[in-house]
């Protein structure tokens, strides 16, 4: 999660709690002792009782623990935290706010709109803020026994109080490890989770990466009919637009117990302090505080049921339990035997025109702008990982090869097929392109004045031999450090990106693919410079001998306007990658020259 707060890594020194974790998860006692002794000898073990180990910090941040409150994050970015006590009012303010990080631009007169629908022969209604996905998922939250057992105990208390989850809400439990299932089962809370619809559907990313599966058709029809801002609540890591599900415009990250609470409530528009989750068999209101387990209750269950032997048992089964996996025949050839019929793995085109001699750097001339984007364009916008939409260029590609929509699978599963991934680049339905002034994976092809799928437009430009660039705003490439968010634009013919600022890892990935990351000068951006994106761009790249890190380059437009931008090659090594056409070409040449 470090990219969300601008870091590469977060350092937490090993202490006794870390050692206890190794013991709890079934590591051999001798090895654990050896690890601790080694870390102590190497000066890497932190003993918080030893004041001599207190570091001298260059900056100290004080935190008043009394100000810490339960939070969720959303509705569109993980960094936008909202106190649980403010969730109702915050969502309602988001409804009418201008389209953006926190806004949906729903007209004031439609904030209370409701749409009736039927599901399993029963009538229900949806409105803005209705929860349609509730998922306990991801590698992060489900690795914490305290919150998982807390969720299980909350479910137990809820069921015993007579509370239920509406059947149309897509509920799921997808832990990051099979160990979770063991201690939920042994502690006796699994039946209560199942009663509320939180059955184990598998292990891994699932809803967190967009693999929730389809919503009931009647639910989707109601959402579309009412133009509703439906909600997904998940214990995942990221909630960027279009990532969780195409029909949930608002998605909130929450702890597993809160996922259950919002699933029971059926809406995000609830104040847990003053409004009940529901009523019990006697018709009395049941509040969240009435069923929330105490810390002592959770810790007692954790001490009793999360034991080292459980971890050992699961780990020992890993190599034995799946016969289908064990029976797979792995090729032993020195070179990979490409299957031309495979729609999952194909030989990539990155080295098709590679020569041993370096191609001299040259200016980017008469470039069209493929996309004119705003701030916080994430790697999920650039290279979505979720399901492949039926009307997308990737879907058409797979259909021609005999696949049905049920077989399309996800972009994440087809990362080994560059043809699919290129067609999936910028295919996020929540991408806002200023050229078409709405959210859609479309753009304007200026030579023909057509509105096309982004891949189709890029293909037309490439066929005509025309260079392409992208205009964008602040924090371009934030989110997951996804390599295809740089490979995809490369395959679309993108030569450069002009942004106000970059997420650090994504900028590095662009360099690695030979795409030039350009940055506006301080206090400048497209609006200040009067750029519309309809201009033709000439970027005057110096000769190789004159290139240096962080230098300014001149950009001339066909309108006669000229301005400068910073060429964000930050090191000499990055310049070397660029001269080679990217890090892949550099490594191939280096390996070939060493033979």
CATH at residue 160: 3.30.499.10
Distance CA 97, CA 336 (A): 53
User: Residue 287 in 3-state DSSP?
Assistant: coil
Same domain, yes or no, for 306 and 384? no
Residue 84 belongs to a domain? no
Distance CA 428, CA 422 (A): 13
Same domain, yes or no, for 302 and 370? no
Residue 57 belongs to a domain? no
Half-sphere exposure at residue 272, Cβ-oriented, CA atoms within 13 angstroms: 21
Same domain, yes or no, for 34 and 138? no
Q: How far is CA 106 from CA 94, 103, 247, 304, 306, in A?
A: 9, 8, 16, 50, 47
Q: Determine the number of helices (DSSP H) and then strands (DSSP E) in the chain.
A: 21, 21
Same domain, yes or no, for 246 and 395? no
The per-residue pLDDT for 3 is 65
What is the C-alpha end-to-end distance of the chain, expressed in Å?
40
For 315-370, give the DSSP string: HHHTTTS-HHHHT------SS----TT-SS----STTTT--SSPPPP--EEEEEEE
Same domain, yes or no, for 38 and 130? no
Same domain, yes or no, for 390 and 466? yes
Residue 147 belongs to a domain? yes
Please give the residue range of the domain that contains residue 286: 113-310
The helix (run of H) or strand (run of E) holding residue 552 is strand 552-557
Residue 62 belongs to a domain? no
- The count of domains in the chain is 3
By residue count, the chain amounts to: 595
Tokens of 489: 């634009």
Indicate the residue among 274, 294, 310 that finishes a domain. 310
Tens of pLDDT, residue by residue over 375-405, are 989 999 999 988 898 899 999 999 999 999 9
The per-residue pLDDT for 1 is 66
Indicate the residue among 264, 292, 310 that finishes a domain. 310
For 413-448, give the DSSP string: GGTT-HHHHHHHTT--TT-EETTTTEESSEEEETTT
The per-residue pLDDT for 318 is 76
Residue 61 belongs to a domain? no
Distance CA 167, CA 164 (A): 9
Indicate the residue among 283, 310, 337 that finishes a domain. 310
Q: Is 317 exposed, middle or buried (0-12, 13-18, 19+ CB in 10 A)?
A: exposed
- Which residue bears the tokens 């269950």? 301
CATH at residue 428: 3.20.19.10
- Which residue bears the tokens 């608002």? 250
The per-residue pLDDT for 594 is 85
Phi, psi of 173 (to 5 degrees): -130, 115
Angle at alpha carbon of residue 577, lines to 572 and 582, rounded to 5°: 160
Tens of pLDDT, residue by residue over 243-261, are 899 899 999 999 999 999 9
Mean confidence (pLDDT) of the chain: 93
Same domain, yes or no, for 260 and 378? no
Same domain, yes or no, for 291 and 428? no
Residue 103 belongs to a domain? no
Same domain, yes or no, for 399 and 543? yes
Q: Characterize 427-461 residue by residue with b for buried, 16 or more Cβ atoms within 10 angstroms of its Cβ, and e for exposed.
A: bbbbbbbbbbeebbbbbbbbeeeeebbbbebbbeb
Q: 489, 468 in Cβ contact below 8 A? A: no
Residue 66 belongs to a domain? no
Same domain, yes or no, for 303 and 410? no
Same domain, yes or no, for 189 and 262? yes
Report which of 295, 290, 294 is spatially closest to residue 280, judged by C-alpha positions: 290
Residue 389 belongs to a domain? yes
Bridge partner list, 554? 540, 564
Mean pLDDT by 10 residues, the chain (595 residues): 70 91 88 96 92 91 94 92 97 93 93 97 97 90 87 98 97 90 94 97 82 90 97 92 90 97 98 95 93 96 84 78 84 88 94 89 96 94 90 96 93 95 96 94 97 98 98 92 94 98 94 97 97 97 93 97 98 96 94 86
Q: CB 18: neighbour CB atoms within 10 A?
A: 15
Q: Is the preceding peptide bond at 75 cis, omega within 30 degrees of 0? A: yes
Same domain, yes or no, for 264 and 151? yes
* pTM of structure: 0.84
Q: 469, 367 in Cβ contact below 8 A? A: yes
């Amino acid at each position: 999660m470090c990219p969300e707060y601008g870091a590469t890594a977060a350092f937490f020194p090993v202490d006794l709690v870390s050692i206890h974790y190794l013991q709890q998860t079934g590591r051999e006692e001798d090895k654990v002792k050896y690890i601790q002794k080694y870390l102590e000898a190497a000066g890497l073990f932190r003993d918080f009782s030893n004041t001599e180990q207190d570091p001298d910090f260059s900056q100290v941040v004080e935190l008043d623990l009394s100000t810490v409150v339960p939070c969720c994050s959303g509705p569109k970015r993980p960094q936008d935290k909202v106190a649980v006590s403010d969730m109702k009012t915050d969502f309602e303010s988001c409804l009418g706010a201008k389209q953006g990080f926190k806004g949906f631009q729903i007209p004031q007169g439609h904030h209370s709109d409701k749409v009736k629908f039927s599901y399993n022969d029963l009538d229900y209604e949806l409105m803005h803020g209705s929860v349609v996905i509730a998922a306990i998922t991801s590698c992060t939250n489900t690795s914490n026994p305290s919150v998982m057992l807390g969720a299980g105990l909350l479910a137990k208390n809820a069921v015993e109080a007579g509370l239920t989850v509406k059947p149309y809400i897509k509920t799921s439990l997808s832990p990051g490890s099979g160990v979770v299932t063991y201690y939920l089962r042994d502690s006796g809370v699994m039946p209560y989770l199942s009663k509320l619809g939180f059955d184990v559907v598998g292990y891994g990313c699932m809803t967190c990466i967009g693999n929730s599966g389809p919503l009931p058709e009647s639910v989707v029809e109601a959402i579309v009919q009412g133009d509703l801002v439906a909600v997904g609540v998940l214990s995942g890591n990221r909630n960027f637009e279009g990532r969780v599900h195409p029909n949930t415009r608002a998605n909130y990250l929450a702890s597993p117990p809160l996922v259950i609470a919002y699933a029971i409530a059926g809406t995000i528009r609830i104040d847990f302090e003053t409004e009940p989750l529901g009523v019990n068999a006697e018709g009395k209101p049941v509040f969240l505080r009435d069923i929330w387990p105490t810390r002592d209750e959770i810790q007692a269950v954790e001490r009793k049921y999360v034991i080292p032997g459980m971890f050992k048992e699961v780990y020992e089964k890993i190599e034995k339990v799946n016969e289908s996996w064990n029976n797979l025949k792995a090729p032993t050839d020195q070179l990979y035997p490409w299957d031309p019929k495979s729609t999952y793995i194909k030989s990539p085109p990155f080295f098709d025109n590679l020569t041993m001699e370096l191609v001299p750097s040259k200016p980017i001339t008469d470039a069209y702008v493929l996309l004119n984007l705003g701030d916080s364009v994430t790697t999920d916008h650039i290279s979505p990982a979720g399901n492949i939409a039926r009307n997308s260029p990737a879907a058409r590609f797979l259909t021609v090869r005999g696949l049905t929509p049920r077989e399309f699978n996800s972009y994440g599963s087809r990362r080994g097929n560059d043809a699919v991934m290129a067609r999936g680049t910028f295919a996020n339905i929540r991408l806002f392109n200023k050229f078409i002034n709405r959210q859609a994976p479309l753009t304007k092809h200026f030579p023909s004045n057509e509105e096309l799928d982004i891949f189709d437009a890029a293909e037309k430009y490439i066929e005509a031999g025309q260079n392409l660039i992208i205009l964008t705003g602040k924090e371009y490439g934030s989110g997951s450090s996804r390599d295809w968010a740089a490979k995809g634009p490369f395959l679309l013919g993108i030569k450069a990106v002009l942004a106000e600022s970059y997420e650090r890892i994504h900028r590095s990935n662009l360099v690695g693919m030979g795409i030039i990351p350009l940055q506006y000068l301080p206090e400048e951006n497209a609006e200040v410079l009067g750029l519309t994106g309809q201009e033709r761009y000439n970027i005057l790249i110096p000769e190789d001998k004159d290139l240096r890190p962080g230098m300014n380059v001149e950009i001339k437009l066909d309108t006669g306007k000229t301005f400068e931008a910073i060429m964000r090659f930050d090191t000499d090594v990055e310049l070397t990658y660029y001269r080679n056409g990217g890090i892949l070409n550099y490594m191939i040449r280096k390996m070939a020259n060493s033979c």
